[in-house]
């Protein structure tokens, strides 16, 4: 059978019976963001799941506040807060199996923490102490990605490789609305759909690419609508409804694991804090807009729904907050400890086997450190780091 003889194959001049390769209708997102809390369907949500989601949301809010405070104290060089977006972050961290991979962007430290990464390790890159701060393979969390959207092709490549090897692995890649304006986003979606890769793309549409509003980035009906152009389903969800985000992501992950291919999920949320501690958000948005989104706070939405079902009372709220305070206190204490850094660690974890050039550079640095130590009368381990 030739290429042109395959069912649905493209022909320069379509015959009368030509049909599109894929029916577009099932791929299109809903007209409105999917919501779960406050609807009749919310009664079917597991109480244990709601309790866990609530605990992680409260801890996530406190984590964001503590990390922001650490920047003001000079303990972090920069921190891109995800306050207001905790529902997306927590859901992303909880839907994956241990064998799966999370591909975060620079704003997604909370997602990594929700997945089980040590909060101090998650912030090490932003502190400037280490290449990544953690072993990506051990935690199945890719390094925090500062360049926009470059983690998306990486996620597709890993997912595709896992499928070729027969490994039951799904990759979940996070990106902001600004990242969808990058070529890497489009290339990743195209490869994922063509390869039928088990990958889920979660776009956290928080309204702004730094200071650029979404309306100046795209004229599409929604970012989820972009999925149909690549031949994958697009889902539109209320990004502040943690139960809805968790359900939509769970369905997308199950679809990918079952051989259904990739899914693009757009979570409509809002960045309450500035882009980073170096940004002045008042220059491009009004306080009234921020306050309107505060009224749609993910924690308040969940707590109201849980109280309606008698799943949460004042004691439960207090217990969640106390757990969050313990997390913040531990983070604060350990981040106030000055790190002990070894210059030779610069050469660690670059390649599995060092190149000749790296060995030469490592030897040169070791010689300089030994000479400096000799001048100061401090002994060093001259063999360290030269393998």
Which residues are catalytically annotated?
A: 271, 275, 284
Cβ atoms of 82 and 74 within 8 Å: the answer is no
CA distances from 305 to 21, 39, 300, 312, 316 (A): 43, 9, 9, 9, 14
Give the residues across from 205 on adjacent strands.
Answer: 268
Distance CA 79, CA 89 (A): 15
**Entry field: residues in the chain:** 387
Distance CA 387, CA 207 (A): 48
| Helices assigned H by DSSP within 166-239 | 183-195
| Torsions phi, psi for 116 (to 5 deg) | 120, 0
Cβ atoms of 21 and 54 within 8 Å: the answer is no
Give the residues across from 101 on adjacent strands.
Answer: 171
Query: E strand or H helix at 87, and its extent?
Result: helix 86-94
b vs e for 36-56, b when ≥16 Cβ sit within 10 Å of the residue's Cβ? Answer: bbeeeebeebeeeebbebbbb
Give the residues across from 141 on adjacent strands.
Answer: 102
b vs e for 236-253, b when ≥16 Cβ sit within 10 Å of the residue's Cβ? Answer: bbbbbbbbbbbbbbbbbb
Cβ atoms of 78 and 233 within 8 Å: the answer is no
Residue identified by tokens 């070791």 is: 366
Cβ atoms of 63 and 122 within 8 Å: the answer is no
Residue identified by tokens 């992303």 is: 92
């Amino acid at each position: 059978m030739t290429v042109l003889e395959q069912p649905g194959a493209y022909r320069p001049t379509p015959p009368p019976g030509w049909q599109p390769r894929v029916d577009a209708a099932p791929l299109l997102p809903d007209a409105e963001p999917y919501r779960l809390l406050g609807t009749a369907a919310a009664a079917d949500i597991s109480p244990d799941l709601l309790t866990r989601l609530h605990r992680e949301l409260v801890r996530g809010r406190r984590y964001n506040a503590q990390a922001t405070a650490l920047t003001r104290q000079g303990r972090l060089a920069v921190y891109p807060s995800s306050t207001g977006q905790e529902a997306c972050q927590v859901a992303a961290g909880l839907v994956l199996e241990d064998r799966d991979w999370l591909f975060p962007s620079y704003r997604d430290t909370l997602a990594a923490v929700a997945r089980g990464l040590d909060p101090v390790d998650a912030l090490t890159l932003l502190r400037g102490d280490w290449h990544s701060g953690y072993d990506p393979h051990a935690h199945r969390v890719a390094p925090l990605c500062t360049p926009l959207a470059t983690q998306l092709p990486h996620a597709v490549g890993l997912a595709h490789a896992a499928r070729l090897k027969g490994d039951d692995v799904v990759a979940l890649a996070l990106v902001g609305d600004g990242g969808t304006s990058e070529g890497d986003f489009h290339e990743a979606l195209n490869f994922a759909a063509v390869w039928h890769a088990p990958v889920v793309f979660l776009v956290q549409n928080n309204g702004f690419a730094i200071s650029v509003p979404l309306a100046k980035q795209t004229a599409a009906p929604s970012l989820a609508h972009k999925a149909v152009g690549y031949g994958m389903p697009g889902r539109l969800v209320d990004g502040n409804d943690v139960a809805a985000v968790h359900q939509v992501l769970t369905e997308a992950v199950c679809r990918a694991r079952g051989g259904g291919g990739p899914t693009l999920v757009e979570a409509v949320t809002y960045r309450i804090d500035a882009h980073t501690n170096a940004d002045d958000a008042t220059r491009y948005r009004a306080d009234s807009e921020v306050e309107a989104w505060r009224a749609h706070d993910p924690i308040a939405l969940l707590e109201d729904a849980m109280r309606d079902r008698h799943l949460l009372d004042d004691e439960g709220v207090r217990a969640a907050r106390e757990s969050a305070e313990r997390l913040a206190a531990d983070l604060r204490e350990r981040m106030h400890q000055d790190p002990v850094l070894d210059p030779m660690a610069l050469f660690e974890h670059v390649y599995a086997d060092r190149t000749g050039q790296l060995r030469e550079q490592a030897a040169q640095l070791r010689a300089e450190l030994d000479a400096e130590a000799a001048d100061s009368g401090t002994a060093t381990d001259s063999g360290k780091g030269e393998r």
